[in-house]
């Protein structure tokens, strides 16, 4: 079995990836004893995913997977986008991010948004990217307790509930990350 390092300290992302591909030998940064912060200094999701995967690949020479996700809101010209995790400032606080976004969207009719995930796989010095996108809308308040990040305020097209109101199993079938992961799985022919 090939070993992969998932270059993230976000336990929610690691759990979601492991749940989706339980037959892969995926190690977290903690599993390999890596505790340094990887600075996401890119200006695109692709750049941030690459920075994280390359940092780990260069250090350990083991296949590395990383992702970056952004919520892109039409009314806000694609913001918060690459800055989604730290939209309300540092340190990153999902609740404050949601509060800031909902305040900026008060009274706005156009609530269209997309969740976009980009995965970067680096193996044998080869870089490959996989993208997953889900169209949806932003609610006017928080609904549900599942998931993480902006899940309580994002309703995917075709649903009447937010990502935070559906089960992890349902979300793993339709989410932006699930779509990107499926493309990764297809590439690896698992």
Residues catalogued as catalytic: 68
Is residue 187 within 8 Å of 130, Cβ to Cβ? yes
CATH number of residue 140's parent domain: 3.90.950.10
Query: Can you give the length of the chain in residues?
Result: 190
Q: Which three-class secondary structure string do you get for the chain?
A: CCEEEECCCCHHHHHHHHHHCCCCEEECCCCCCCCCCCCCCCCCHHHHHHHHHHHHHHHHCCCEEEEEEEEEEHHHCCCEECCHHHCCCCCCCHHHHHHHHHHHCCCCCCCEEEEEEEEEEEECCEEEEEEEEEEEEECCCCCCCCCCCCHHHEEECCCCCCHHHCCHHHHHHHCHHHHHHHHHHHHHCC
pLDDT at 190: 58
Give the pLDDT confidence of 141-152 residue by residue, as tens digits: 999 998 889 999
Domain of residue 22, residue span: 3-188
**Cα(64)–Cα(171) distance, integer angstroms:** 24
The total domain count for the chain is 1
**What is the value of pTM for the model shown?**
0.90
Give the pLDDT confidence of 8-46 residue by residue, as tens digits: 888 777 877 777 778 788 899 999 999 999 999 999 999
**Cα(174)–Cα(168) distance, integer angstroms:** 10
Give the pLDDT confidence of 62-106 residue by residue, as tens digits: 999 999 999 999 999 999 999 999 999 988 899 999 999 999 999
């Amino acid at each position: 079995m090939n070993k992969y390092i998932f270059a993230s300290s976000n336990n929610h992302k690691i759990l979601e990836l492991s749940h989706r591909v339980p037959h892969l030998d995926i190690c977290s940064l903690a599993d390999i004893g890596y505790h340094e912060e990887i600075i996401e200094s890119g200006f695109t999701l692709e750049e941030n995913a690459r920075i994280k995967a390359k940092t780990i690949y260069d250090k350990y020479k083991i296949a590395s997977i990383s992702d970056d996700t952004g919520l892109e809101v039409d009314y806000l010209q694609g913001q918060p986008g690459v800055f989604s995790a730290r939209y309300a400032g540092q340190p990153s606080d999902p609740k404050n991010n949601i509060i800031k976004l909902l305040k900026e969207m008060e009274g706005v009719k156009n609530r269209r948004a997309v969740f976009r995930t980009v995965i970067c796989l680096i193996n044998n010095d080869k870089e490959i990217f996989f993208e997953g996108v889900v169209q949806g809308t932003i609610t006017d308040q928080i609904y549900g307790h599942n998931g993480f990040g902006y899940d309580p305020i994002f309703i995917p097209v075709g649903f009447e509930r937010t990502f935070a109101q559906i089960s992890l199993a349902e979300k793993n079938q339709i989410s932006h990350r699930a779509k990107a992961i499926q493309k990764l799985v297809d590439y690896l022919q698992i």
